[in-house]
Amino acid sequence: MNLYQPYLMRIEEIIDETPDVRTLRLTFKDQQVAEQFAFAAGQFGEYSVFGEGESTFCIASPPTRSEYIECSFKATGRVTKALRRLNVGDTMGFRGPYGNRFPLDDMKGKSVVFIAGGIGLAPVRCVIENVLDLRGEFKDVTIIVGARSVSDLVYKHKLEEWGKRDDVRLVACVDPGGQTPDWTGEVGFVPSVVEKAAPSPDDCYAVICGPPVMIKYTMPVLTKLGFPDERIYTTLENRMKCGCGKCGRCNIGSVYVCKDGPVFTAAEIKQLPPEF
């Protein structure tokens, strides 16, 4: 099969998460492909609109819910704008899964703290739901989620669901000024909210994704709390095109984000060339 030949997908559902973030729930049109398809939390795909091109997003739904895959995106360019014009029942393309994965097996028996800002919750959500679907195999689960404003919080229905669970500690925050009169969560920037929440680093992995500035200021907080760089994981997106190590578009020095990543530890990120 041609490496770049996409699977045909049917749009089953469209969810508007925020004024500018949309989620598509997709199923494979070919039943045999659907049955054989497998992926791991952290992997990504190339999503296409015929005649327009492809765009790279993580798979936001967990591998434990294999009847469909979901992707979430902002309409920022030609392909994402075209994606926004599609309707339920329409056909689009998907290639993947590509890239490495979060170390779920290593995390088993340990606690996990998830930290996400804005649409950075999409890749983190995949791991969160993967962990929650196997909840008995993990210790404490803490989820810290931030956005600029209440209306910018993605997956509000998920946040509500996680917030109701007594085996999950959920801390949601919005930037100062982004709160509404009925907002009951925290008001503050993610790094200071993480510091205040102070998750214990004992036997614990951290998974973090969000805007670069959020990651930049949250990493030192995790270090201060006692998380070693080897147990802090993040995921990068870097000008991907082919998704599978062929085009040379995604490299940072000698590292190919599409093949060696997109999941990296903080220790690995510190080894990347300074331009990153």
Contacting residues toward ligand FES, per CB under 6 A: 240-243, 245-250, 256, 258
CA distance 147 to 272: 28
* Minimum CB distance to ligand FES smaller for 121 or for 250: 250
| Cβ pair 116, 218 in contact under 8 A | no
Residues 6+ apart with CB under 8 A from 235: 42, 58, 102, 123, 209, 261, 262, 263, 264
Task: Work out how close the CB of 236 gets to ligand FES at its nearest, in angstroms, rounded to a whole number.
Answer: 11
Task: Work out how close the CB of 241 gets to ligand FES at its nearest, in angstroms, rounded to a whole number.
Answer: 5
* Minimum CB distance to ligand FES smaller for 29 or for 246: 246
Give how far Cα 226 sits from Cα of 191, 197, 213, Å: 15, 14, 21
* Minimum CB distance to ligand FES smaller for 127 or for 250: 250
| Cβ pair 153, 145 in contact under 8 A | yes
Task: Work out how close the CB of 46 gets to ligand FES at its nearest, in angstroms, rounded to a whole number.
Answer: 9
* Minimum CB distance to ligand FES smaller for 56 or for 130: 56
Residues 6+ apart with CB under 8 A from 36: none
* Minimum CB distance to ligand FES smaller for 46 or for 129: 46
Respond yes or no on whether the N-terminal peptide bond of residue 262 is cis (omega within 30° of 0). Answer: yes
* Minimum CB distance to ligand FES smaller for 223 or for 251: 251
Indicate the angle between helix axes 156-164 and 121-133, nearest 10 degrees.
Answer: 40
Task: Work out how close the CB of 248 gets to ligand FES at its nearest, in angstroms, rounded to a whole number.
Answer: 5
Q: What would you report as the CA-atom Rg of the chain, rounded to the nearest whole angstrom? A: 18
Task: Work out how close the CB of 52 gets to ligand FES at its nearest, in angstroms, rounded to a whole number.
Answer: 18
Respond yes or no on whether the N-terminal peptide bond of residue 97 is cis (omega within 30° of 0). Answer: yes
Task: Work out how close the CB of 257 gets to ligand FES at its nearest, in angstroms, rounded to a whole number.
Answer: 6
